[in-house]
Amino acid sequence: MSSLQELQRNWEGFARTDPLWSICADPAKRNQLWNREEFFASGEKELATVLNHATKLGLEIQQNAPALDFGCGVGRLTRALAGRFSECWGLDISSTMIRLAQEFNHDIPNCHFVVNESERLEKLESYYFGFIYSSIVLQHIANEYAHKYIAELIRTLRPQGIFIFQVPEKFQGGWVKQLRAKLALRSRIGSLLGNKPFLMEMHCIKEQKILDLVQQHGAKVVDVQLTNSCDPAFSGNLQYLEQAPAGDYVSKQYCVIKK
């Protein structure tokens, strides 16, 4: 199978077994212990943190333009976006995640969800979105495809549109700590049919690669922040850090503006 097929298989497996925990993998919430209201409230809190930070940077958020949640899962952040933008879309590689997102958010009329199985975002128009957000998503996608998705997402942005996304840059620590972190983050769930387990892969992209890629596709990075998004117990309580955590993944949030 190709890497995208394997990625889809993994997230279909998570969606069918423990969908909320697979999105916010707090160990205390495993085995379907997430309360749904608490889960969606974490999305509201995270998005508020992101938008408040963008406002402090002096950025103009195009709230009358459509917004996109890339790697939406069951719509944790899509639902939060829908309360702030005129129209909101959620995109995911897992059809089960999208079905659950539609069920969980059926009461939000400006929320729309779509499955994307390709390395191209063929269902999304160019110059359509005024705001795009992606959190704890690109880190699970092999770099070959993550680079293409970043370029594609920039394509869908309107001029002066804002794209904010998070991805780890590197693992900081020795090989023993790295192994422990991978075991915590690449959590395994056996499939119901007894096939090979589902994996959460972790991939890093160097900051310079992000800067070059964004510029190459007609946009610019205006802000970079260290975050706690790669904490194994991350549950939507997004924080900006003064320094990278020792012995853990160094997670960075990039704020991009389309030229």
Q: Which domain holds residue 253?
A: 3-258
Residue 180 has pLDDT above 60, yes or no: no
In tens, the pLDDT along 203-248 reads 999 999 999 999 999 999 999 999 999 998 899 999 999 999 887 8
H or E element at residue 224: strand 219-227
Q: How far apart are CA 202 and CA 171, in angstroms?
A: 10
- Work out the percent of the chain whose per-residue pLDDT is above 90: 83
Position 232 scores a pLDDT of 83
List the strands of the sheet with 240-241, edge to edge.
111-115, 88-92, 67-70, 129-134, 157-172, 248-258, 219-227, 240-241
- We report the CATH number of the domain holding residue 78 as 3.40.50.150
Q: How far apart are CA 258 and CA 132, in angstroms?
A: 11
In tens, the pLDDT along 49-96 reads 999 999 999 999 999 999 999 999 999 999 999 999 999 999 999 999
Q: How many residues does the chain have?
A: 259
What are 131's two structure tokens? 């705001």
Q: Which residues contact 223 (CB under 8 A, 6 or more apart)?
A: 53, 57, 254, 255
Q: What is the total count of domains within the chain?
A: 1
Position 197 scores a pLDDT of 79
Residue 177 has pLDDT above 60, yes or no: no
